[in-house]
């Protein structure tokens, strides 16, 4: 055995006991900190699940609203196209593929198109020598609008 005295052994035991008690206190403090962090994690996990459910719900609502918006846009464009046909006599096949911008342009331009002044028509001979009315047929609003748009380079 070693030559340590009882007093020295008692001092070592006391020192080791104090170190063990300090380590136990440190572990207890870390356990409290771990418990607090676990509580925070559980709270955040619960909030995450709640927010994820809300996100899923809002995504579904967004999809429904986007579909409804698309259908309404299609309905509005169809109504505006039929309005062009009814108001200005534009053939339906000419307005069938117009987008909102083109319809805006037509709706802004066509009301300003004025019919040409009526030319007096008198019976007589035309250049070919036949008798009859040699005045050109009057243009419709649609024909005038098409002529204006063609001159502007819009088809």
Give the strand pairing for 131-132 and 124-125: antiparallel
Mean pLDDT of 118-129: 50
The pLDDT tens digits for 127-137 are: 444 455 556 66
Whole-angstrom Cα distance, residue 83 to residue 97? 14
> What predicted TM-score, i.e. pTM, was given to this entire model?
0.47
Which pLDDT does position 76 carry in this prediction?
Answer: 95
Which pLDDT does position 37 carry in this prediction?
Answer: 95
Average pLDDT, the chain: 84
- Provide the pLDDT confidence category of residue 13 given band limits of 50, 70 and 90: very high
The pLDDT tens digits for 40-78 are: 999 999 999 999 999 999 999 999 999 999 999 999 999
**47 phi, psi to nearest 5 deg:** -60, -40
Tokens read off for 151: 């001159």
Q: At what angle do helices 100-109 and 6-88 cross, to 10 degrees?
A: 40
Whole-angstrom Cα distance, residue 102 to residue 25? 79
- Provide the pLDDT confidence category of residue 155 given band limits of 50, 70 and 90: low
Using the predicted structure, report yes or no on whether residue 123 has a pLDDT greater than 60.
no
Which pLDDT does position 71 carry in this prediction?
Answer: 96
Domain ranges of the chain: 10-114+139-151
Tally Cβ neighbours within 10 Å of residue 117. 5
Highest mean pLDDT among 5-9, 13-17, 85-89, 137-141: 13-17
Closest by Cα among 136, 128, 77, 133 to 107: 77
Using the predicted structure, report yes or no on whether residue 28 has a pLDDT greater than 80.
yes
Query: Is-contact 106 118, C-beta < 8 A?
Result: no
Share of the chain above pLDDT 90, in %: 52
Whole-angstrom Cα distance, residue 60 to residue 39? 32
Whole-angstrom Cα distance, residue 144 to residue 109? 11
Query: Is-contact 52 58, C-beta < 8 A?
Result: no
Closest by Cα among 86, 85, 89, 113 to 98: 85
């Amino acid at each position: 055995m070693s030559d340590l005295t009882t007093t020295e052994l008692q001092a070592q035991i006391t020192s080791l006991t104090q170190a063990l008690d300090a380590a136990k206190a440190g572990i207890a403090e870390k356990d409290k900190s771990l418990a607090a962090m676990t509580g925070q994690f559980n709270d955040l996990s619960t909030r995450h699940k709640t927010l994820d459910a809300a996100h899923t719900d809002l995504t579904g609502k967004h999809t429904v609203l986007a579909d409804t918006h698309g259908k309404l846009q299609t309905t509005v464009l169809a109504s505006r196209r039929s309005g062009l046909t009814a108001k200005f006599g534009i053939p339906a096949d000419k307005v069938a593929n117009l987008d909102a911008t083109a319809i805006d342009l037509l709706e802004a331009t066509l009301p300003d198109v004025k019919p040409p002044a009526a030319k007096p028509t008198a019976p007589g001979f035309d250049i070919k020598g036949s008798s009859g009315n040699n005045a050109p047929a009057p243009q419709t609003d649609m024909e005038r609008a098409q002529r204006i748009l063609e001159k502007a380079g819009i088809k």
